[in-house]
Chain A
């Protein structure tokens, strides 16, 4: 896909310093759109959730969604922002088929929230990310590109547009440039989005499902020679839609830009597209300048002037924020800050917490999410939270192991079934016949067959070489294809060889 020359990341860092920046768009989980009463339900039939306001038909008038404004202020408060006492919407004018009105209703120089920060931790080191602004705007429609390569008649490329998403409230959270992250730049970018996502979840303002596009990132990256006082020219990689991709996009741009600079060329300031399959970026349309958008105050909407009392009420109603929550959970679970950081980096804090809430012990819950489940997610190339298994199912699996119904090995097979959509763990254990064998006739037969089949070993055990019993246990486990409980098998063998 990409023919770009790349420099090894270690080598990049010997010559260049990265500066990153992130613009994150979050679709709020409101019932209705930002400026009209159309539903926001995901996955509805195309163009069934539109009206004169969100289609921009002449004579229609917008009215701001009170819940969306409240959610935006709450996000600002959680990020330590200053909440504006006077804020306005503005028209951002540009022509593109996914905006039916010919402009996007957004905010320009009078956003709702400014000057906040978010502390993120990577490998025990804390990085403060300064937040420039948090503003409210509306989402665009969705383009479906068809024609040409898909073999349509006439071969003319065209697009089909669904406006269900157009007008859904969208909050944009913009960081200031983040210098000084060095080799950790890709991880810091990921940690920032991870932490932001946790905050949004805690606030309950969005479902933040990245696979449904509730949270989308634009990742800015630039490189400057080590020791330089200036930052380099940045590129903006658009629509990076998973935590893993955020990290990969930064890493790729660092490696690509280093090669450009090494060749004595200049990095072009441009929009780039991220490709999930290759982890690479490619040049997109050249960016229009801010002045080209001809922003002006939206005449159809009156200013928003949040009063201090209302803002303080929202502040008092904020939930426990993730950083504080992690501190408390570390104590409850008896784990160190480093161990907690592993959970955070794996995106597993809420998953473990929910698994514990569903009845598992903190130790077991951590072991499963950081062990077997992390391995599965890694193999599948997805984030942990996107695995097709719920915390309740993991807790059930752990419960089955604790009860001795299955052992760890069988539990992994049961997990295969759950991930394949075969149902809850107990149902999979039942349908796949995975339960550990009790002291059944079948197991007795297997134990006796092992003794008869290995007379030499049996004799050794009888003669007092007790450790030789392992070979017999192994034989039984083999016949029963791992379904027997090794401790039970050992006891049964001892009863027959030592106590007799």
Chain B
């Protein structure tokens, strides 16, 4: 990963790297556009950092609960035709996807 930029800045390289990880095709012009826009988002989020939280206990989760579990019991799954109905392409009862470049057969 490219070197993180100083606060409030986001380099084109970082945006390009994130776009690659997210498998998004981003054009050269868009890299500049998004670098600026995302930097503004980061600045807005950074505002939160200014709050005085010295006396506030850290929130580790949105709901104050632990150990919510379900018993190990099998239940019926979806019918396969329903499952595959949402697939852009299906073949031999499986989801058909483009081959990933660089992956072994």
Q: Please, could you name 9 A-B residue pairs with CB atoms under 8 Å apart, sorted by A?
A: A37-B76, A47-B83, A65-B72, A144-B94, A156-B99, A157-B99, A159-B99, A163-B83, A304-B66
Given known A-B contacts A45-B80, A158-B97, A66 and B69 have beta carbons under 8 A apart:
yes
Give the Cβ gap from B10 to chain A, nearest Cβ, in Å: 15
Interface positions, chain A 10-33, Cβ under 8 Å from B, are 30-32
- B interface footprint on A56-84 (CB within 8 Å = 1, 0 otherwise): 01000001111111000000000000000
Complex CA distance for A312 and B22, rounded to whole angstroms? 43
Q: Count of chain B residues with Cβ under 8 Å from any Cβ of A?
A: 40
Is A338 interfacial (CB 8 A cutoff)? no
| Chain A residue at minimum C-beta to C-beta distance from B71 | A66
Query: Is B103's CB under 8 angstroms from A285's CB?
Result: yes
Given A30-B72, A66-B72, 6 more contacts at CB 8 Å? A32-B74, A37-B70, A46-B80, A158-B96, A160-B91, A161-B95
Query: Is B93's CB under 8 angstroms from A45's CB?
Result: yes
Is A284 interfacial (CB 8 A cutoff)? yes
Of A94-102, A176-184, A187-195, the one contacting chain B is: A94-102
| Chain B residue at minimum C-beta to C-beta distance from A93 | B21
Is A51 interfacial (CB 8 A cutoff)? yes
- A interface footprint on B19-48 (CB within 8 Å = 1, 0 otherwise): 001110000000000000000000000000
Is B61 interfacial (CB 8 A cutoff)? yes
Q: Which chain A residues lie closer than 8 Å to B68 at the CB level?
A: 63-64, 301-302
Give the Cβ gap from A144 to chain B, nearest Cβ, in Å: 7
Given known A-B contacts A32-B75, A47-B84, A157-B99, A304 and B94 have beta carbons under 8 A apart:
no
Query: Is A38's CB under 8 angstroms from B77's CB?
Result: yes
Query: Is A51's CB under 8 angstroms from B69's CB?
Result: no
Given known A-B contacts A47-B83, A302-B66, A31 and B91 have beta carbons under 8 A apart:
no
Complex CA distance for A160 and B95, rounded to whole angstroms? 5
Is A469 interfacial (CB 8 A cutoff)? no
Complex CA distance for A95 and B101, rounded to whole angstroms? 13
Is B63 interfacial (CB 8 A cutoff)? yes
Complex CA distance for A31 and B80, rounded to whole angstroms? 20
Query: Is A291's CB under 8 angstroms from B1's CB?
Result: yes
| Chain B residue at minimum C-beta to C-beta distance from A94 | B21
Query: Is B66's CB under 8 angstroms from A303's CB?
Result: yes
Given known A-B contacts A45-B80, A95-B22, A160 and B72 have beta carbons under 8 A apart:
no
Is B104 interfacial (CB 8 A cutoff)? yes
- B interface footprint on A286-308 (CB within 8 Å = 1, 0 otherwise): 00110110100101011111000
Is A162 interfacial (CB 8 A cutoff)? yes
Main secondary structure of the interface of B (DSSP, over half): loop
Interface centre among A289, A294, A302 (most CB of B within 10 A): A302
Is A52 interfacial (CB 8 A cutoff)? yes
| Chain A residue at minimum C-beta to C-beta distance from B103 | A285
Is A39 interfacial (CB 8 A cutoff)? yes
Chain B: residues with CB nearer than 8 A to chain A? 1, 21-23, 60-63, 65-78, 80, 83-84, 86, 91-100, 102-105
Is A244 interfacial (CB 8 A cutoff)? no
Give the Cβ gap from B96 to chain A, nearest Cβ, in Å: 6
Is A407 interfacial (CB 8 A cutoff)? no
Query: Is A46's CB under 8 angstroms from B23's CB?
Result: no
| Chain B residue at minimum C-beta to C-beta distance from A284 | B104
Query: Is A51's CB under 8 angstroms from B77's CB?
Result: yes
Task: Select one of B1, B96, B103 contacting A160, CB under 8 A.
Answer: B96
Give the Cβ gap from A285 to chain B, nearest Cβ, in Å: 5
Task: Select one of A50, A145, A273 contacting B77, CB under 8 A.
Answer: A50
Q: Which chain B residues lie closer than 8 Å to A201 at the CB level?
A: none
Query: Is A303's CB under 8 angstroms from B61's CB?
Result: yes
Give the Cβ gap from B65 to chain A, nearest Cβ, in Å: 5
Q: Which chain B residues lie closer than 8 Å to A31 at the CB level?
A: 72-74
Query: Is B71's CB under 8 angstroms from A158's CB?
Result: no
Complex CA distance for A30 and B76, rounded to whole angstroms? 15
Query: Is A95's CB under 8 angstroms from B65's CB?
Result: no
Is A48 interfacial (CB 8 A cutoff)? yes
Query: Is A145's CB under 8 angstroms from B99's CB?
Result: yes
Give the Cβ gap from A465 to chain B, nearest Cβ, in Å: 71
Give the Cβ gap from A32 to chain B, nearest Cβ, in Å: 4
Complex CA distance for A291 and B98, rounded to whole angstroms? 26
